[in-house]
Copies of this chain bind each other. A is one copy, B any other.
Amino acid sequence: MERKTVVRARIFRFAVKVVLILLALSLPLQSSADERRWGTASLVVVIERQAGSVLIIDSSRHELLGRISGLGNLTHAVVKFSPDARYAYVIGREAQVSKIDLLTLKLVKQVDGGKLGIGGVISQDGKYVVLSNYVPGEVRILDADTLELVKSIPALYTDASEKDGKELPSRVVGLVDAPGNLLIFSLMDANSIWVVDAGNKEFPVIRKFPDVGKMPYDALISPDGRYYLAGFLDSNWMGLLDTWRLERVAPILAEQGKGPEVPLWKIPHLKGWALTGRLAFLPALKREVALVYATLDWTPLAPVPISGTALYTVVRPDGRQVWVDIIGKNGDLIDVIDVDSMKVVKTLNPGPGATHPQFTPKGEAAYISLMDGGKVVVYDTATFQLLKEFPADHPSGIFFANRAHKFGM
């Protein structure tokens, strides 16, 4: 009996040990998982262009969460978000699409979406990742869950100089989603704007507007999704499409040809970044000004002189400031335009290769990449004080997750 008792006691002690060891193993895992949770609504994805990686930052606390590598050629890259901001889709130069889970910070899927890409967008209904490709010249539609190919829409046109009427593929630029589950994009080599119905499983091209202007290079859609505005490299106007009508692309004065010309450092980006309620601020081609329009009737107003040529003009979410990313001469500078006085009231010098200013959702802070300075810096937009720095490897594009809810972004 005594022996039996001893054995039982041993069994008991052994079992207790097993339980304790298992608990010890599982508990820390659980609690660290708890501590490392975050909401996804205001996360930031920063492109590290040379390393082919991205940083994920929580902008609500200005805290680095992690890095995801192996995303291919990111020398040009855009990031799109699922409607719930759980997933980020990183689209690289070679149209490689990498789907990242922003809760686990893991790369969950990766596909080749073409050979050479320039951008992409999520359809209004959130079901598709849509790519605008240079090579092949097409719009490619992928399932947002699986990244499987759903449809390719070749951007074919007939060049007038071709005698045999042979169709050529055009590069596609300025792709946006629009209300009514539309997709709108410009054909760079075909001087055209096309509209696709993404609510129809055949994805028909429901409108083709030819001869809208020479060599569209980018486009934007107004925050309410109503107006699509294309810029042209070789025409002295911009093209405006009212998506409530889909009737014509109206030329509006761009004033591009006026004033002393400077070199074209890089094609400026338009993507919806500088529309306040009543004013639009756009980077000018080859001029050292920001172009200004009254959005009520798209009449041009007096341009605002800036420190160089602009790559991006980005409006603070409350519309009171526009931050201008200077490229080429004075490329390290960021000009801040005060919308009330229509003047540059502050010029920041954040460091080498400062680029791509982006705001927190309510605009109290701005993130800027120092492409040649190895950092992402965060400014208080009221005081212009430096709030925080993150080490980063040649950072470029900065993408806030609240783009999930913005047309064309």
Contact = CB atoms under 8 A, between A and B. Distances in A.
Contacts of A318: 179, 224-226, 407
Q: Which of A22, A58, A224 has the most CB of B within 10 A?
A: A224
Given A19-B18, A296-B296, A317-B224, A41 B83 contact: yes
B363 A179 contact: yes
A364 interface: yes
Interface string A179-209: 1110000000000000000010000000000
Interface string A237-251: 000000010000000
Nearest to A85: B41
Interface stretch (A110-118, A306-314, A342-350, A398-406): A398-406
A276 interface: yes
A244 B340 contact: yes
State the number of copies, please. Answer: 2
Interface stretch (A9-17, A72-80, A162-170, A262-270): A9-17
Contacts of A60: 82-84, 126
Nearest to A125: B364
A361 interface: yes
Contact of A124 (B59, B85, B226, B364): B364
A42 interface: yes
A373 interface: no
Interface of A is mostly: loop
Contacts of A407: 318, 362
A388 interface: no
Given A179-B320, A317-B224, A86 B37 contact: yes
B83 A224 contact: no
A278 interface: yes
A318 B180 CA distance: 10
Question: Top 6 A-B pairs ranked by shortest CB distance?
Answer: A39-B86, A39-B84, A41-B85, A361-B405, A179-B318, A60-B84
